[in-house]
Amino acid sequence: EIVLTQSPGTLSLSPGERAALSCRASQTVRKNFLAWYQQKPGQTPRLLIHGISTRATDIPDRFSGSGSGTDFTLTINRLEPEDVAVYYCHHYGDAASWTFGPGTKVEIK
Amino acid sequence: QVQLVESGGGVVQPGESLRLSCAASGFAFSTYAMHWVRQAPGKGLEWVAAISFNGYNAYYADSVKGRFSISKDNFKNTLYLDMISLRPEDTAVYYCARLGYCSGGGCFYYGMDVWGQGTTVTVSS
Protein backbone atom coordinates (compact mmCIF):
# COMPACT_ATOMS: atom_id res chain seq x y z
CA GLU A 1 0.00 0.00 0.00
CA ILE A 2 1.29 3.44 -0.91
CA VAL A 3 1.39 5.91 1.97
CA LEU A 4 1.08 9.59 1.08
CA THR A 5 2.61 12.36 3.16
CA GLN A 6 1.64 16.00 2.63
CA SER A 7 3.43 19.14 3.68
CA PRO A 8 3.08 21.62 5.11
CA GLY A 9 0.17 20.84 7.37
CA THR A 10 -1.05 24.41 7.14
CA LEU A 11 -0.11 27.15 4.69
CA SER A 12 -0.97 30.76 5.43
CA LEU A 13 -0.49 33.19 2.56
CA SER A 14 -1.71 36.55 1.35
CA PRO A 15 -4.06 37.03 -1.60
CA GLY A 16 -2.17 37.03 -4.89
CA GLU A 17 0.67 34.86 -3.61
CA ARG A 18 1.60 31.44 -4.94
CA ALA A 19 0.94 28.31 -2.87
CA ALA A 20 3.03 25.19 -3.34
CA LEU A 21 1.65 22.05 -1.69
CA SER A 22 3.77 18.93 -1.50
CA CYS A 23 2.74 15.28 -1.62
CA ARG A 24 5.27 12.50 -1.21
CA ALA A 25 4.53 8.82 -1.85
CA SER A 26 6.20 5.91 -0.07
CA GLN A 27 6.59 4.11 -3.41
CA THR A 28 6.71 5.12 -7.04
CA VAL A 29 3.27 6.02 -8.33
CA ARG A 30 2.50 3.94 -11.40
CA LYS A 31 0.75 5.19 -14.53
CA ASN A 32 0.56 8.74 -13.16
CA PHE A 33 -2.31 7.74 -10.89
CA LEU A 34 -2.08 10.78 -8.62
CA ALA A 35 -4.92 13.24 -8.06
CA TRP A 36 -5.61 16.35 -5.99
CA TYR A 37 -8.88 17.36 -4.36
CA GLN A 38 -10.10 20.57 -2.79
CA GLN A 39 -12.48 20.48 0.14
CA LYS A 40 -13.87 23.82 1.24
CA PRO A 41 -15.34 24.13 4.73
CA GLY A 42 -18.62 22.26 4.97
CA GLN A 43 -18.45 21.04 1.38
CA THR A 44 -17.87 17.81 -0.50
CA PRO A 45 -14.40 17.16 -1.95
CA ARG A 46 -13.91 18.34 -5.53
CA LEU A 47 -11.49 16.86 -8.02
CA LEU A 48 -8.90 19.42 -9.15
CA ILE A 49 -6.20 17.41 -10.87
CA HIS A 50 -5.83 13.84 -12.08
CA GLY A 51 -3.00 12.03 -13.81
CA ILE A 52 -0.54 14.26 -11.87
CA SER A 53 -1.13 17.32 -14.05
CA THR A 54 -4.46 17.20 -15.92
CA ARG A 55 -7.00 19.71 -14.68
CA ALA A 56 -10.50 18.40 -14.14
CA THR A 57 -13.48 20.00 -15.85
CA ASP A 58 -14.04 23.68 -15.02
CA ILE A 59 -10.94 23.98 -12.85
CA PRO A 60 -9.24 27.35 -13.43
CA ASP A 61 -5.72 27.36 -14.80
CA ARG A 62 -4.45 28.95 -11.56
CA PHE A 63 -4.30 25.36 -10.35
CA SER A 64 -1.56 23.14 -11.70
CA GLY A 65 -0.07 19.80 -10.79
CA SER A 66 3.42 18.52 -11.37
CA GLY A 67 5.89 15.86 -10.30
CA SER A 68 6.84 12.29 -10.96
CA GLY A 69 7.90 9.13 -9.21
CA THR A 70 7.30 9.82 -5.54
CA ASP A 71 7.23 13.63 -5.34
CA PHE A 72 4.31 15.75 -6.46
CA THR A 73 3.26 19.36 -6.15
CA LEU A 74 -0.02 21.24 -6.40
CA THR A 75 0.59 24.89 -7.23
CA ILE A 76 -2.06 27.54 -6.78
CA ASN A 77 -1.15 30.80 -8.52
CA ARG A 78 -2.61 34.17 -7.58
CA LEU A 79 -4.24 32.90 -4.40
CA GLU A 80 -7.82 34.08 -3.88
CA PRO A 81 -9.95 34.12 -0.71
CA GLU A 82 -12.16 31.43 -2.28
CA ASP A 83 -9.17 29.04 -2.31
CA VAL A 84 -9.38 28.61 1.47
CA ALA A 85 -9.75 24.85 1.81
CA VAL A 86 -8.04 21.60 2.69
CA TYR A 87 -6.25 20.00 -0.25
CA TYR A 88 -5.74 16.25 -0.44
CA CYS A 89 -3.53 14.23 -2.72
CA HIS A 90 -4.79 10.81 -3.69
CA HIS A 91 -3.26 7.70 -5.17
CA TYR A 92 -5.71 5.74 -7.28
CA GLY A 93 -5.67 3.26 -10.10
CA ASP A 94 -6.15 -0.27 -11.16
CA ALA A 95 -4.16 -2.15 -8.58
CA ALA A 96 -6.61 -2.26 -5.67
CA SER A 97 -4.72 0.47 -3.87
CA TRP A 98 -6.36 3.78 -3.08
CA THR A 99 -5.06 6.13 -0.41
CA PHE A 100 -5.39 9.78 0.53
CA GLY A 101 -2.80 12.04 2.04
CA PRO A 102 -3.59 13.74 5.37
CA GLY A 103 -4.27 17.07 3.69
CA THR A 104 -2.84 20.59 3.64
CA LYS A 105 -4.95 23.41 4.97
CA VAL A 106 -4.62 26.66 3.03
CA GLU A 107 -5.46 29.86 4.87
CA ILE A 108 -5.54 33.45 3.73
CA LYS A 109 -3.76 36.06 5.86
CA GLN B 1 -27.16 16.02 -14.69
CA VAL B 2 -24.57 13.63 -13.30
CA GLN B 3 -25.46 13.00 -9.69
CA LEU B 4 -24.87 10.71 -6.73
CA VAL B 5 -27.23 10.82 -3.77
CA GLU B 6 -26.46 8.90 -0.58
CA SER B 7 -28.98 7.82 2.01
CA GLY B 8 -29.28 5.47 4.95
CA GLY B 9 -27.12 7.16 7.54
CA GLY B 10 -28.22 7.48 11.12
CA VAL B 11 -27.42 6.99 14.78
CA VAL B 12 -26.79 3.41 15.89
CA GLN B 13 -25.34 1.70 18.91
CA PRO B 14 -22.02 -0.18 18.84
CA GLY B 15 -22.45 -3.63 17.37
CA GLU B 16 -25.46 -2.69 15.28
CA SER B 17 -25.79 -2.71 11.49
CA LEU B 18 -26.65 -0.19 8.81
CA ARG B 19 -27.04 -0.14 5.03
CA LEU B 20 -26.03 2.90 3.03
CA SER B 21 -27.31 3.51 -0.48
CA CYS B 22 -26.01 5.72 -3.27
CA ALA B 23 -28.40 6.43 -6.15
CA ALA B 24 -26.70 7.36 -9.41
CA SER B 25 -28.19 9.31 -12.28
CA GLY B 26 -27.09 11.09 -15.43
CA PHE B 27 -24.37 8.67 -16.48
CA ALA B 28 -23.83 5.03 -17.46
CA PHE B 29 -23.56 3.62 -13.96
CA SER B 30 -22.92 0.09 -15.20
CA THR B 31 -19.64 1.14 -16.79
CA TYR B 32 -18.13 2.78 -13.69
CA ALA B 33 -16.22 1.44 -10.73
CA MET B 34 -17.53 2.97 -7.53
CA HIS B 35 -16.05 3.79 -4.15
CA TRP B 36 -17.01 4.67 -0.61
CA VAL B 37 -14.89 7.25 1.20
CA ARG B 38 -15.48 8.43 4.75
CA GLN B 39 -14.48 11.40 6.83
CA ALA B 40 -14.56 11.30 10.61
CA PRO B 41 -15.44 14.57 12.37
CA GLY B 42 -12.59 17.03 11.93
CA LYS B 43 -10.42 14.47 10.15
CA GLY B 44 -9.22 13.77 6.63
CA LEU B 45 -10.53 11.52 3.91
CA GLU B 46 -10.29 7.76 4.33
CA TRP B 47 -10.88 5.33 1.48
CA VAL B 48 -13.26 2.58 2.64
CA ALA B 49 -14.24 0.25 -0.19
CA ALA B 50 -14.38 -0.11 -3.95
CA ILE B 51 -16.23 -2.25 -6.45
CA SER B 52 -15.53 -2.93 -10.10
CA PHE B 53 -17.85 -1.69 -12.81
CA ASN B 54 -19.54 -5.08 -13.16
CA GLY B 55 -19.71 -5.73 -9.42
CA TYR B 56 -17.53 -8.80 -9.64
CA ASN B 57 -14.58 -7.48 -7.62
CA ALA B 58 -14.68 -5.76 -4.26
CA TYR B 59 -11.89 -4.25 -2.20
CA TYR B 60 -11.78 -3.01 1.39
CA ALA B 61 -9.64 -0.98 3.72
CA ASP B 62 -8.15 -3.07 6.51
CA SER B 63 -10.14 -1.06 9.04
CA VAL B 64 -13.47 -2.37 7.70
CA LYS B 65 -12.54 -5.72 6.17
CA GLY B 66 -14.87 -8.47 7.37
CA ARG B 67 -17.45 -5.98 8.66
CA PHE B 68 -18.41 -3.94 5.58
CA SER B 69 -19.67 -5.22 2.24
CA ILE B 70 -19.93 -3.16 -0.93
CA SER B 71 -22.30 -4.09 -3.73
CA LYS B 72 -23.68 -2.58 -6.92
CA ASP B 73 -27.01 -3.04 -8.66
CA ASN B 74 -26.53 -1.97 -12.25
CA PHE B 75 -30.23 -2.33 -12.98
CA LYS B 76 -31.24 -0.01 -10.17
CA ASN B 77 -28.24 2.30 -10.69
CA THR B 78 -27.51 2.02 -6.99
CA LEU B 79 -24.41 1.40 -4.91
CA TYR B 80 -24.64 -0.07 -1.43
CA LEU B 81 -22.51 -0.37 1.67
CA ASP B 82 -23.64 -2.92 4.23
CA MET B 83 -22.04 -2.32 7.59
CA ILE B 84 -22.19 -4.73 10.52
CA SER B 85 -20.57 -4.77 13.96
CA LEU B 86 -20.30 -1.01 13.87
CA ARG B 87 -17.81 0.67 16.18
CA PRO B 88 -17.57 4.22 17.52
CA GLU B 89 -14.56 4.77 15.25
CA ASP B 90 -16.83 4.18 12.23
CA THR B 91 -18.54 7.48 13.02
CA ALA B 92 -18.10 9.62 9.92
CA VAL B 93 -19.67 11.21 6.89
CA TYR B 94 -19.75 8.55 4.17
CA TYR B 95 -19.39 9.63 0.57
CA CYS B 96 -19.87 7.58 -2.56
CA ALA B 97 -17.76 8.52 -5.56
CA ARG B 98 -17.14 7.23 -9.02
CA LEU B 99 -13.66 6.45 -10.25
CA GLY B 100 -12.84 4.77 -13.49
CA TYR B 101 -15.02 3.53 -16.30
CA CYS B 102 -14.66 0.52 -18.50
CA SER B 103 -15.66 0.13 -22.11
CA GLY B 104 -14.75 -2.19 -24.92
CA GLY B 105 -11.49 -0.33 -25.24
CA GLY B 106 -10.39 -0.94 -21.69
CA CYS B 107 -10.69 0.79 -18.32
CA PHE B 108 -9.84 4.44 -17.74
CA TYR B 109 -9.12 6.20 -14.48
CA TYR B 110 -9.48 9.95 -13.98
CA GLY B 111 -9.70 10.28 -10.23
CA MET B 112 -12.91 10.58 -8.23
CA ASP B 113 -14.66 13.09 -10.43
CA VAL B 114 -18.19 12.85 -9.03
CA TRP B 115 -19.05 12.70 -5.32
CA GLY B 116 -22.30 12.47 -3.46
CA GLN B 117 -23.22 14.97 -0.74
CA GLY B 118 -22.51 12.44 1.99
CA THR B 119 -24.57 10.68 4.64
CA THR B 120 -23.69 10.77 8.33
CA VAL B 121 -23.22 7.65 10.42
CA THR B 122 -22.93 8.03 14.18
CA VAL B 123 -22.08 5.03 16.32
CA SER B 124 -22.63 5.80 19.96
CA SER B 125 -24.09 4.23 23.05
User: What's the rounded Cα separation, in Å, for the pair B120 and B124?
Assistant: 13
User: What's the rounded Cα separation, in Å, for the pair A70 and A106?
Assistant: 22
On the question of pLDDT at A94 being above 70, the answer is no
**Contact present, A36 and A86 (Cβ < 8 Å):** no
What pLDDT, on the 0 to 100 scale, is given for residue B106?
86
Q: Which residues fall within 8 angstroms of residue A81, CB to CB, at 6 or more apart?
A: A15, A108
Residues of B in contact with A103 (CB under 8 A): 44-45
Residues of A in contact with B111 (CB under 8 A): 35, 37, 47, 49-51, 56, 90, 92
**Phi, psi at residue A30, to the nearest 5°?**
-85, 150
- Residues of B (18-57) whose Cβ lies below 8 Å from A: 35, 37, 44-47, 50
User: What's the rounded Cα separation, in Å, for the pair A43 and A6?
Assistant: 21
Strand partners, A104: A87
Q: Which of A57, A93, A96 sits opposite B109 (nearest CB)?
A: A93
What pLDDT, on the 0 to 100 scale, is given for residue B104?
81
User: What's the rounded Cα separation, in Å, for the pair A73 and A7?
Assistant: 10
Q: Rounded to a whole number, what is the distance in Å from the CA of B108 to chain A's nearest CA?
A: 9
pLDDT in tens, A29-84: 999 999 999 999 999 999 999 999 999 999 999 999 999 999 999 999 999 999 99
For each successive 10 residues of chain B (125 residues), what is the average pLDDT? 97 98 97 97 97 93 97 98 98 96 86 97 97
Please tell me which residue, B116 or A1, carries the higher pLDDT value: B116
User: What's the rounded Cα separation, in Å, for the pair A92 and A100?
Assistant: 9
Residues of A in contact with B64 (CB under 8 A): none
